[in-house]
Structure formats: C-alpha cells, structure tokens
Amino acid sequence: MIGRRLRLPAGRRLGHLVETIEWRARAVFLASRDPRVSPLAKALAVVVAAYALAPIDLIPDVIPVLGLLDDLVLVPLGIALVVRMIPADVWGECLNAARDRMERPKSRLGIAAVLVVWVLFLAAVAWLVARRVGRL
C-alpha cells in the first residue's frame, strides 16, 4: 500500500487521501512516544499530530477550497518532515500500529466523554447568555 498508486474514481481519491493523512498523522503521534526518536523529532511530531487531529484549523474548513488547503498541504508537509527525522524501522512499526488502531472499533466511552464535554460547554454558554440577557 505504501508508495503504490491506486486508481480510484475522483470522489474516492479525496476520501482515500484524507484517510491516508489521518493514518500517517496517528503514526507520527505514536512515533512521538517512542524512546528511539530524537527529542526534536518528538516535539515536531507532537505539533504535527496535534494540528492534524485537532478540530481547530489555521484556516477554517467552512471557507471553500482554502479551508481544506491547510489540511491537504500543511499536514502532509509536516508529516514528511517528521518522517525524515525518524529511523525507518521505527516509522514502519508506527505505521503498522496506527493501521491496527484505525481498524479497531470506536470506543463508546470515548464518544460518551466527548458528548459530556459538549453538553457542559453548551450549558456554560447558555448560562453566560442567560446572565447577559438578565442584565439588559
């Protein structure tokens, strides 16, 4: 799979590209936790993985074309830079581990935790709005 071009329809190519970027971003995160990786590579790996996997972007995705540009340009460039700093055997192990983790079923506990955080956030916003409206 690595290094081999797939002939996919245009719509599926984009989906495959996004999946590949996510897979490699997860591998970069795993590499950041490996003791065989240099401290500089670890620091850069954490920054790249955090940016790639975080829901907040430099350019918001709601802006047509430009919103996806950072995900399709900045993230792969960051991943490529980190990969050059990681030993090849470590990178191969991290890719395999990331692939295994992506194929696992999603955690219901994780989904519940995210939902709880969102509910608390929305409750806090509602409380602040209610306080503000009460002052008017």
Whether the pLDDT of residue 103 is over 50: the answer is yes
Q: What is the pLDDT of residue 6?
A: 45
pTM of the shown model: 0.60
Provide the number of structural domains found in the chain: 2
Establish if 5 belongs to a structural domain: no
Task: Output 56 or 94, whichever has higher pLDDT.
Answer: 94
Average pLDDT (57-64) is 69
pLDDT confidence bin for 11, thresholds 50/70/90: low
Q: 125 falls in which pLDDT band (50, 70, 90)?
A: very high
Residue 1 lies in a domain: no
3-class SS letters over the chain: CCCCCCCCCHHHHHHHHHHHHHHHHHHHHHHHCCCCCCHHHHHHHHHHHHHHHCCCCCCCCCCCCHHHHHHHHHHHHHHHHHHHHCCHHHHHHHHHHHHHHHHCCCCHHHHHHHHHHHHHHHHHHHHHHHHHHHHC
What residues make up the domain containing 100? 10-104
